[in-house]
Amino acid sequence: MAAQPHPSSSNPQRKTMSTFTTKDGTQIYYKDWGAGPVVSFSHGWPLSSDAWEAQMFHLASNGFRCIAHDRRGHGRSSQPWHGNDMDSYADDLNELFTALDLKGVTMVGHSTGGGEVARYIGRHGTKRVARAVLMGAVPPIMVKTAANPGGLPMDVFDGFRKAYLADRSQFFLDVASGPFFGFNRPGAKVSQGLIQSWWMQGMMSGHKNAYDCIKAFSETDFTADLKKFDVPTLIIHGDDDQIVPIGASALLSSKLVKGATLKIYPGGTHSLGDTSKDQLNADLLAFARS
């Protein structure tokens, strides 16, 4: 049964966690914390809304209503065999926004979630959107093509798929303990807790869903979507992002989104929500208030 619109965000009895069912029968889990202007969060691959808990706690503690969903096939959402693509991800988010009758939303997307935000605006416009944040995000397109010579070779993503199918549990551990958080850099302060959290979230994803999502995040071209942005947009990226290199992502997206503000975190990793948490929390709060 589809979710019904929430009562006013000022109602203390409003449910703070729920699920809803999309038109194609996929059950989507979401969190709904706090009260006030709405900030939505779209997570990266192969994680869940739990990846945003520090940012959600900070903004909800400062007068915002924070909503984050587990993308189809990830976290606590159901694992459909089909529909593991950016169009479906964006349409699921639109159904959630419609079910909750959200307006004036500040949309925040990390990595694959940044692609989800871009495709949402490309397909559904900004009638419900006030601002957008792309953080360590995959747009405009990750894979190397004739039109995107600075992208990563297809061999990189074929390698992801091969390692994933061979032993996805070990593959997730290798990503989390190395490039994702920058723990492979000299002098890095390694957190076993972050590694285990990342691995746990990854293992909660559906096997085929996360496999299909590699194609979705690497091969989807968001160029046309970015050109449709007509709201204030903040693009945040670490210049030591080893997962989504800044040169073929944020530096290009900031030129495609009219009037975008680009903020580069020196030495920043792919997971700024963890490794640059205080700075990111402050920047998101300031932007949501702007």
pLDDT band at residue 10 using 50, 70 and 90 as cut-offs: very low
Which of 40, 48, 111, 271 is flagged as catalytic? 111
Dihedral sign from CA coordinates of 141, 143, 147, 149:
positive
177 noted as active-site residue: no
pLDDT in tens, 126-146: 999 999 999 999 999 999 999
pLDDT band at residue 260 using 50, 70 and 90 as cut-offs: very high
Indicate whether 249 pLDDT > 60: yes
3-class secondary structure, 240: coil
Say if residues 162 and 174 touch (Cβ distance below 8 Å): no
CATH of 17-289, one of 3.40.50.460, 3.40.50.1820, 3.30.950.10, 3.60.150.10: 3.40.50.1820
What's the CA gap between 234 and 212, in Å, rounded?
Answer: 28
Integer CA distances (angstroms), 31 to 76, 180, 231, 276, in order:
11, 24, 25, 23
Q: Which of 52, 69, 46, 57 has its CA nearest to residue 200?
A: 46
Say if residues 86 and 216 touch (Cβ distance below 8 Å): yes
Q: What is the pLDDT of residue 17?
A: 56
Report domain extents, the chain.
Answer: 17-289
Q: What is the DSSP string of 144-209?
A: --SS-TTSB-HHHHHHHHHHHHHHHHHHHHHHHHTTTTTTTSTT----HHHHHHHHHHHHHS-HHH
Indicate the pTM of the whole model: 0.93
Say if residues 265 and 279 touch (Cβ distance below 8 Å): yes
Integer CA distances (angstroms), 240 to 39, 41, 121, in order:
27, 23, 28
Among residues of the chain, what percentage have pLDDT more than 90?
A: 93
Say if residues 101 and 72 touch (Cβ distance below 8 Å): no
Which of 50, 225, 241, 274 is flagged as catalytic? 241
Distance from CA of residue 140 to its chain's centroid?
14
pLDDT band at residue 16 using 50, 70 and 90 as cut-offs: low
What's the CA gap between 100 and 11, in Å, rounded?
Answer: 14
270 noted as active-site residue: yes
Which of 270, 271, 274, 283 is flagged as catalytic? 270
Integer CA distances (angstroms), 218 to 36, 84, 91, 118, 152, in order:
35, 13, 19, 14, 9
